[in-house]
Chain A
């Protein structure tokens, strides 16, 4: 509203060129608006075409796929494709695995990051800043570097802990430790230097004066953390949770190397193994792809604001 008034005032104050006829400006701006709209529309059509193709293939009969020219709208709507995907193999199990892993990773990462971030932002201990620098340095190391040792740890953890001594217990959420376990899928994802960094920046921005009253009342760090810091950093935590969720739901390489049993696969791994089996059954493959992406798209439409804000937050960091 504000900007409209300002710009109206500005254009009124500007001298019109003598050679320009009256009304030229409004015609020109209407033309600009129209052309911007058309360009945006054309680009949007290009962007959405693959999705259209995805959806249209997903409800086609297998025979209709191999027809030239292709039917953009299927002659017969095969809703059964989705049911077939859901029931054949363990697609429902993959879904369950993905949900379990994603929920646990999000919860774990938010909790550990918030606690570490609080320590780095508010506690005084020797070597704090150096430790934080070390933390940041790990951000620069590519995932591939840590992937291999983590794989080895997980592999031998399974071998050793299923022997005579158990450090974490023999089972984690009903599955043995080591490869093919929820433990291997979840625990490495629960710690994030990036999340710690993001939340620390957020916590640092909260004025310290707010905590004085808690201190006067005799409250300790626990009270400050739960009563002041956490309620005030809602947007930061939401951003971290959303991006963690996104990353975990679509994570491919880690579950790929951790899991070789069918019932422990997450959705992306399930899809890639699907591809191996139904090599050219494109309707089934596309239906599976659609089912995997559906929850993210739904969440995106409801929480779009947080995504946009989150990306800006990341940008400010750099």
Chain B
């Protein structure tokens, strides 16, 4: 208890303070909502004789955008997991072995896997660019260019997560669908896509909803290890996520107050998004 309640209260208090930890306990100053203002606030800036409304911290918005951008891989990953699960739900030899192989990356240590992917993405000697060159393509500098850094991280993330918990949950869900429904559809002459769209998809909707919510919550807080191991948040801050920004504030620049504020802003965002998707997504979920 004391390791969760007390820190939460302390963090809330800290969010309203200005404190660089180097100056010790004496350095804490009450900042009111100053931290919030300097992070998410806008103010009028006069430049070249024109008055414009500009964000106080453009980096915050940029990193928030990065985080959301990286989360766009979530639906792709879920579709992939569903595809794998549908495939594994069929009868064919060595099915369990394949399941184990798909699940393997989920089991491993993310830090080590990101290191591996940094090597795969290596501009000159990496596996990916070599494979592309076999097809006559000249691969880009994956992690070194602003345009390709985010897709690269998404690709590595997809590989790590596609055969993981989502696939397992979908597989369990598929096995729970009564066989009679498919037989009835067969008699009615439904083809494969109709069977999937009118039986499988609606009956899996609770699973889909669960995976989506947990992935979104995780997605907002994610991206730290990828940024730390592969790109250092670069190039030009294009892979810095909220989690990495919090880390930078707290442990690179020692701005504990700002970091606490950031973590609370992140919490509020996560809460709001979760509640919204609960409200609007929950209606589409079909329970049987």
Interface positions of A (Cβ within 8 A of B): 3, 6-7, 10, 14, 32-34, 36-37, 39-41, 43-44, 47-51, 53-54, 57, 65-70, 134-135, 138, 140-153, 155-156, 187-188, 190-191, 193, 246, 249-250, 252-253, 256-257, 267-268, 271-272, 275, 282, 285-286, 288-290, 292-293, 296-297, 300-301, 304, 307-308, 311-312, 314-315, 318
Asked if B179 is at the interface of the complex by the 8 Å CB criterion, the answer is yes
Asked if B214 is at the interface of the complex by the 8 Å CB criterion, the answer is yes
CB pair B168 A311 closer than 8 Å = yes
Q: Which residues of A contact B11 (CB under 8 A)?
A: 145-146, 148-149
A100 to chain B, nearest CB (A): 17
CB pair A140 B271 closer than 8 Å = yes
Q: Which residues of B contact A301 (CB under 8 A)?
A: 100
Interface positions of B (Cβ within 8 A of A): 1, 3-8, 10-11, 14, 21, 25, 84, 87-88, 90-95, 98, 100-105, 107-113, 115-117, 119-120, 124-125, 127, 130, 159, 163, 165, 168-169, 172, 179, 183, 186-187, 207, 210, 213-214, 220-221, 224-225, 228-229, 243, 246-247, 250-251, 256, 259-260, 262-264, 266-267, 270-271
CB pair B168 A308 closer than 8 Å = yes
CB pair A193 B4 closer than 8 Å = yes
Cα distance, A76 to B267, chains bound together (Å): 52
CB pair B92 A50 closer than 8 Å = no
CB pair A53 B120 closer than 8 Å = yes
CB pair A268 B119 closer than 8 Å = no
A-B contacts, 25 listed (Cβ < 8 Å)? A7-B179, A34-B92, A36-B92, A40-B92, A50-B120, A50-B127, A53-B127, A65-B125, A67-B125, A146-B11, A149-B7, A149-B8, A156-B25, A246-B107, A249-B109, A253-B224, A268-B109, A271-B111, A289-B112, A293-B112, A307-B107, A315-B169, A315-B172, A318-B210, A318-B214
Q: Which residues of B contact A65 (CB under 8 A)?
A: 125
CB pair A272 B111 closer than 8 Å = yes
Q: Which of A49, A138, A311 contacts B5 (CB 8 A)?
A: A138
Given contacts A36-B87, A40-B98, 18 further A-B contacts (CB under 8 A): A14-B187, A36-B91, A43-B98, A50-B117, A68-B124, A69-B130, A140-B271, A148-B256, A149-B10, A150-B3, A151-B250, A152-B256, A250-B110, A271-B115, A272-B111, A289-B115, A300-B104, A315-B165
Q: Which residues of A contact B21 (CB under 8 A)?
A: 152, 155
CB pair A70 B130 closer than 8 Å = yes
Cα distance, A314 to B211, chains bound together (Å): 11
Q: Which residues of A contact B111 (CB under 8 A)?
A: 250, 252, 268, 271-272, 292
Q: Which residues of B contact A36 (CB under 8 A)?
A: 87, 90-92
Interface contacts (Cβ under 8 Å), in number, total 220
Q: Which residues of B contact A54 (CB under 8 A)?
A: 116
Cα distance, A35 to B220, chains bound together (Å): 38
Q: Which of B84, B92, B112, B228 contacts A292 (CB 8 A)?
A: B112
Cα distance, A247 to B117, chains bound together (Å): 21
CB pair B87 A50 closer than 8 Å = no
Cα distance, A286 to B87, chains bound together (Å): 32
Cα distance, A77 to B120, chains bound together (Å): 20
Cα distance, A147 to B119, chains bound together (Å): 31
A318 to B, closest residue via Cβ: B210
A14 to chain B, nearest CB (A): 7
